[in-house]
Structure 1
Amino acid sequence: MNNKGSSVRSIILRYINNHKKQDNNYFIAQEILKNFVNIPQMTIYDLSEKCFVSTSAISRFIRLIDFSSYTNFKYAVEKEIDIVSDYSKRLTEISTGKPDDFINEYIENLLTNLKYAKKHIAVSQIETVVSAIHSAENVAVFGLEFAAFMGQHFQSKMASMDKIVQISFTMTEQLRIVEEIKPNSLALIFSMEGGFFYFNEKVISGLKKKNIKIIAFTFKSSAIIERSADEIVVCGEVNDNTEGRISILYMMELLIYYYMRTIYLTT
């Protein structure tokens, strides 16, 4: 399996969204989503009957989305993190608190992170990162799911300034980028909790072997990040209820603005 750190549902949805024709694989993907919670209890024969295809067709699809076997696929589905885990336990216990507790706490935490970034991240540090982006022959953005989605926005804005940035969603794609990336390149890793450095050790190892400069954007520096990154930008401190997602977008917007400023507003 090459999809550690990726939601299985997201992998299936990306396949459906990017598939150009409605063939057997398309309908298998749809049927898996419809029966997702039951997959751990379903044999490959059960699923093939649901999809009106052979078991070999199911196996081919499972390999197509980067799982080595149906057994590994079922295990990944069973271990899929429930959305409730995105939020603090106190706010998911409906019997306690008031309906507006989440909004109040979420906004306060966002403000805490923004104030932290304003206080601790100097413009000179952002400009140094921007300079590294500008001078690098290749730039790649890495991160787990949300960071990769936001990476598409970053990629689009940078392309509008004639800077090509690579992004990827699966470990297979990430390893391909590492294999193809040239020396004197730059990797921007957005990982608020540091999960990318634990789930994607092969990617980190590949970047280090090629002497690619790594800049990490995170909330908490840890031993593994300090060993791996050439520079660490600590951009917040609270991620109890996914507030870190906003910090990822905030940091990307800073990089976009200061890159634009470097290209268009300096003489």
Structure 2
Amino acid sequence: MSNNPFVLNQLLHLTNENYQKDANYAIAKIMLDHFHELPQMTIQEAADLCFVSTASISRFVRYLGYSGFSEFKISCEKSIGIEADYSNEVKKAGKEDLLPIYSRFTEQVLQNIEISFKNLDIEQLDRICIRMKSADRIAVFGLEFSSLIGEHIQSRLARMGKIVDTGLDLNEQIEIASRLTEHSVVLLITMEGGYLYRNSDILDILEKAGCYTIVFTINPQIKLLQFADEILVCGHANYNTEARVSLLYEVEMLLMHYSISFFQNH
């Protein structure tokens, strides 16, 4: 996991999901409290901070998928360097700017949802749901907010008797992808296409496996989408993360269609 910039998500996930509150939980919790200091620390300083040995820190970062503490620190620094997903207009907004900004945001969300609805194709949803129903495996790929949507899909489909795999980071997703077959279905979430350009290894695995791939995006014209079997359009704008809302709308439409088709009593 060389220089993975999503290490913050890994630490958050570890503290959220570790109900036993073991040693890894304790280390992750302290590291989160001092996250901005980690890039400047030595492994000894990190060990002292967490009240453990340097060997325990080494085991912890290897557990997260890093080769050592140095690589872990680089990833922390990269993660700190990622700014919020908002435009400069929002970042520099004064109090007098808020109402117009929120008004435009709301209008854009509604336009995105309207576009999603206009692109709604019942026959396409039928095709996708039939594939999902018969799939030997279903996987959801995406990062950051998309991974949270993946967990939502996983939870809802589990209630309808269908197990879904989703990985928090690229290493987990590569491992999941390696188990997929031509009878598997992949839901790939990439609002503006960045996932496609940064993760060619996963795309190569999916193409070789011959998976049935459904892509959620606001940019259906990307050349790299030629491999996709189905594209679900989630609007056209993501200037200030508006597409997150329309993505959830599109996902809910698909889950509703699956439920109506295969889960509810007729």
Show the 5 A alignment for 1:35-54.
35-54=34-53
Task: Write the distance in 2 (CA, Å) between the matches of 1:63 and 1:15.
Answer: 14
Where structure 2 has 5 or more consecutive residues not aligned to the other structure, the ranges are: none
Show the 5 A alignment for 1:191-210.
191-210=190-209
Who is 1:31 aligned against? 30
Who is 2:160 aligned against? 161
Show the 5 A alignment for 1:205-244.
205-221=204-220, 222-226=222-226, 228-244=227-243
Deviation at 1:140, TM superposition (A): 1.3
Deviates more, 1:82-91 or 1:210-219: 82-91
Secondary structure of the corresponding residue to residue 84 of structure 2: helix
Q: Is the 2:3–2:72 Cα contact (8 Å) retained in structure 1? A: no
Q: Relative to 1, partners in 2 of residues 1:208 and 1:2: Cα closer, same or farther, differing over 3 Å?
A: farther
Q: Is the 1:113–1:235 Cα contact (8 Å) retained in structure 2? A: yes
Who is 2:148 aligned against? 149
Deviation at 1:39, TM superposition (A): 1.4
Who is 1:12 aligned against? 11
Task: Write the distance in 2 (CA, Å) between the matches of 1:22 and 1:153.
Answer: 24
- What is the one-letter code of the residue matched to 1:93? K
Deviation at 1:11, TM superposition (A): 0.4
- What is the one-letter code of the residue matched to 1:223? K
Q: Is the 2:3–2:78 Cα contact (8 Å) retained in structure 1? A: no
Q: Is the 1:121–1:235 Cα contact (8 Å) retained in structure 2? A: no
After the TM superposition, list the runs of 4 or more consecutive aligned residues in structure 1 that deviate by more than 4 angstroms: 81-84, 264-267
Q: Is the 2:6–2:169 Cα contact (8 Å) retained in structure 1? A: no
Q: Relative to 1, partners in 2 of residues 1:88 and 1:199: Cα closer, same or farther, differing over 3 Å?
A: same
- What is the one-letter code of the residue matched to 1:206? I
Secondary structure of the corresponding residue to residue 161 of structure 1: coil
Task: Write the distance in 2 (CA, Å) between the matches of 1:260 and 1:179.
Answer: 28
- 2:113 equivalent to 1:114: yes
Who is 2:174 aligned against? 175
Show the 5 A alignment for 1:94-109.
94-95=93-94, 97-109=96-108
Task: Write the distance in 1 (CA, Å) between the matches of 2:94 and 2:163.
Answer: 50
- What is the one-letter code of the residue matched to 1:126? L
Summarize deviations over 1:134-173 as a string: whole Å, max 9, x none: 2322221111122221222222222222222222212222
Deviation at 1:212, TM superposition (A): 1.0
- The number of residue pairs the alignment matches comes to 265
- 2:34 equivalent to 1:60: no
Who is 2:245 aligned against? 246
Task: Write the distance in 2 (CA, Å) between the matches of 1:128 and 1:77.
Answer: 42
Q: Relative to 1, partners in 2 of residues 1:84 and 1:202: Cα closer, same or farther, differing over 3 Å?
A: closer
Task: Write the distance in 2 (CA, Å) between the matches of 1:85 and 1:49.
Answer: 31
Deviates more, 1:146-155 or 1:211-220: 146-155
Q: Is the 2:218–2:234 Cα contact (8 Å) retained in structure 1? A: yes
Q: Relative to 1, partners in 2 of residues 1:220 and 1:165: Cα closer, same or farther, differing over 3 Å?
A: same
Deviation at 1:84, TM superposition (A): 4.5
Q: Is the 1:91–1:97 Cα contact (8 Å) retained in structure 2? A: no
Question: If the length of structure 1 is used for normalisation, what is the TM-score?
Answer: 0.89
Where structure 1 has 5 or more consecutive residues not aligned to the other structure, the ranges are: none
Deviation at 1:122, TM superposition (A): 2.4
